[in-house]
A and B are shown apart, each in its own frame.
Chain A
Amino acid sequence: MDSLSRDYVIFAMSAKGFNSENSRYALTEFLKIVDKYHWVNMGDMKTGGYYLVGKEAIMEGVQDTSIVHGVFTSKEDLRGAVRELKAADLGVSITISGILDNVNEVLLDNNIKRHTVEVSLGVRGRTDRLPEEELLEVTTMCGHGMVSQTFVRQMLIDIKKGKRTPEEAANYLATPCVCGVFNPRRAQELLEELVDVWCMDEN
């Protein structure tokens, strides 16, 4: 199983001008439901991610314009959270990012019909300016691009030098991701692979 199959981001928001007024209560309840399962990151674009601001600040800071996120590494946790979210009937829009077929399977288990689907058709243009594919796999976990490639390289050096464990390095890499969608466990897996095969030099 590749690491992608252990990465599911579930998030909720209300639609401005339609159902956003006072939606903060439902958005907070969304996070409380996510919190009952084995999440590995959570966050709110208005406040920050778990690894920077902590759970309490996220929960207390939810606003009507928030976009709240939780990250799971297993389909089972996703399935459970979706079941509860459906029962809670929050009314806010919920989107799941992950392998489409796996997500659809979880939805079907819960008698939910998928509404709208988005895929990527890839990257075009000056792809020669992009960092190595392996680094991109880590940095792009934050969709806003808040995790810099230099930061990943620095973490690899720190692991090699014994200054940090891969787990600590991965958790630290999650800090710039304000939405809390960066999956530190998947990052840890990728760092552990890279640290064995990459030659790093600070100069």
Chain B
Amino acid sequence: MRIDASKCIGCGQCRPFCIMQVIDFTRSEKGKVHCVVNEDECVDCEICYRAKVCPVDALKQPETQWPRSIRGTFSNPLAIHKETKVPGRGTEEMKTNDITNRYERGFAGMSAELGRPGIGARLRDAEKVFMALAPLGVEFEPQNPLTNLLEDPKTGKMKEEVLNEKVLSCIVETIIPLDRILEVLDAMEKVAKTIDSVFSIDLVCRADEDLSVPSLKVMEAGHRWYTRNGKTNIGLGHLNVKGADR
């Protein structure tokens, strides 16, 4: 995001909306107060622009080139990832598992969402998480745009040119056998000590016929904490979508 200094009247109304807190006041050579975006720390989410508070239309999102373009596609939920056609962080995760069977019985989806909540993350932190998990032989979800930025899925090395890019959040997504949940969790906790941001860890699992959730049993047996709220895919999806034959 960029602020046109010749238009900006320095009212500061856009500042509270900035999730990265990177809009600051400054002065032109002639002493005129205006605001400026620290573009290195900005994630191109366009929230400040969408807030529609600027009285003089001074906020503009410049056209971005690769690799800067990564910022907008990961941080602006209205943008679509070219690879997956999914908006936002670019992955359907468990939200369509009743159709895709992405998480089969006996497996769990385990993900680290970097930058969440509200801090943002450089992709070099995502690489650290990838590189901590790759030696465990876990499978990284191919239908996730972050996985597409890997140079080598075997080592978890990401493409060099993307490492300094900063995004609001991005998800390192794995699918693992149930009996490896605690091992992967331990590895995530270990690498968490080396990163400069935060990540939130999510655990996905298909419910059993008796409606119990096997992943939660593993967590309880290991005396590990998880939230009492979460997402429940209610299983009403099927292939003959109503009205689709119009």
Contact = CB atoms under 8 A, between A and B. Distances in A.
A25 B117 CA distance: 34
Contact of B92 (A13, A113, A114, A131): A13
A200 interface: no
Interface string A94-113: 11111111011001000011
B96 interface: yes
**Interface of chain A, helix or strand or loop or mixed?**
mixed
**Interface of chain B, helix or strand or loop or mixed?**
loop
Interface string A6-41: 000001011110110111011001000000000000
A144 B46 CA distance: 13
A114 B236 contact: no
A150 B18 contact: yes
A8 B169 CA distance: 23
Contacts of B238: 19, 91
Contact of A118 (B45, B193, B203, B244): B203
Interface string B202-227: 11111101010101100100001111
A29 to B, nearest CB: 7
B87 interface: yes
Contacts of A104: 211, 232
Contacts of A95: 94-95, 231-234
B130 interface: no
A122 B109 CA distance: 15
A115 B235 contact: yes
A145 B96 contact: no
A147 B45 CA distance: 11
Given A22-B244, A112-B234, A148 B16 contact: yes
A151 interface: yes
B199 A103 contact: no
Most buried by B among A22, A85, A97, A126: A126
Interface string B107-126: 00100100111110000000
A159 B182 CA distance: 45
A112 B4 CA distance: 54
Contacts of A101: 228
Q: How large is the interface on B (under 10, 10 to 19, 20 to 34, 35 or more residues)?
A: 35 or more
Given A19-B241, A121-B185, A146-B47, A97 B96 contact: no
B202 A129 contact: no
A154 to B, nearest CB: 4
A124 B19 contact: no
Nearest to A135: B118
Interface string B173-199: 000000000000100110011011111
A123 B89 CA distance: 18
A171 interface: no
A150 B20 CA distance: 9
Contact of A125 (B18, B192, B205, B240): B192
Nearest to A143: B116
B207 A100 contact: no
10 contacts: A15-B96, A16-B85, A18-B96, A25-B246, A117-B205, A119-B215, A121-B224, A129-B119, A149-B118, A178-B78
Interface of A: 4, 11, 13-16, 18-19, 21-23, 25-26, 29, 45-46, 48, 52, 65, 67, 82, 85-86, 88-101, 103-104, 107, 112-127, 129-131, 136, 139-140, 144-151, 153-154, 175-176, 178-179
Interface of B: 15-19, 21, 45, 47, 50-51, 77-78, 80, 84-89, 92-100, 103, 109, 112, 115-119, 168-169, 185, 188-189, 192-193, 195-207, 209, 211, 213, 215-216, 219, 224-246
